[in-house]
Amino acid sequence: MLWKKATLSALIGFVIGVLIGVGFMQGDLSGLREALPHLLLGGIYGAVACGSSVVYDTEKWSIARATATHFLFVFSLYLLIVFTMDWFRLGDPVFWIVIAVMVMAYILIWLFQYLVYKRKIREMNNDLARMKSRADKN
């Protein structure tokens, strides 16, 4: 079941990654042959980013572990693609800005997930308290 979800998510991510690449081409598909490796790598990046999101479904993992694992998958592939395709250089300020944005995004993802789960736990505890008080009355 998890592999099915990962595969479907990866396929959707691949399409999104390619479409984002086409968007960067600003609709000018005349240089498609030269852009094909970039589009394919964008698709692969999208596939890994979306497909690896199943780590959040691993119930035994904490939110921090799932977020860190997903970050490592995405960030490692990002570095591989960026340096392989020569999109950025190590001294390029844009490279460091992108890294800072990625780190901030993952901090926000963790915070959002933490708050969502905290709320769900509070609701479950309230439900249990209500159930217990009903049982005590009977």
| Domain boundaries defined on the chain | 2-137
Query: Is the pLDDT score of 36 beyond 90?
Result: no
Question: Residue 25: helix, strand or coil by DSSP?
Answer: coil
Mean of per-residue pLDDT scores for the chain:
87
Output the pLDDT for position 27: 61
Q: How many angstroms separate the first and last alpha carbons of the chain? A: 42
DSSP state of 126: H
The rounded distance, in Å, linking the Cα atoms of 117 and 128 is 16
Query: CA torsion angle for 125, 127, 129, 130 (degrees, to 10)?
Result: 170
Chain segment 57-104, per-residue pLDDT in tens: 888 988 889 889 999 999 999 888 888 878 788 888 988 998 999 999
How many secondary structure helices (H) and strands (E) does the chain include?
Answer: 4, 0
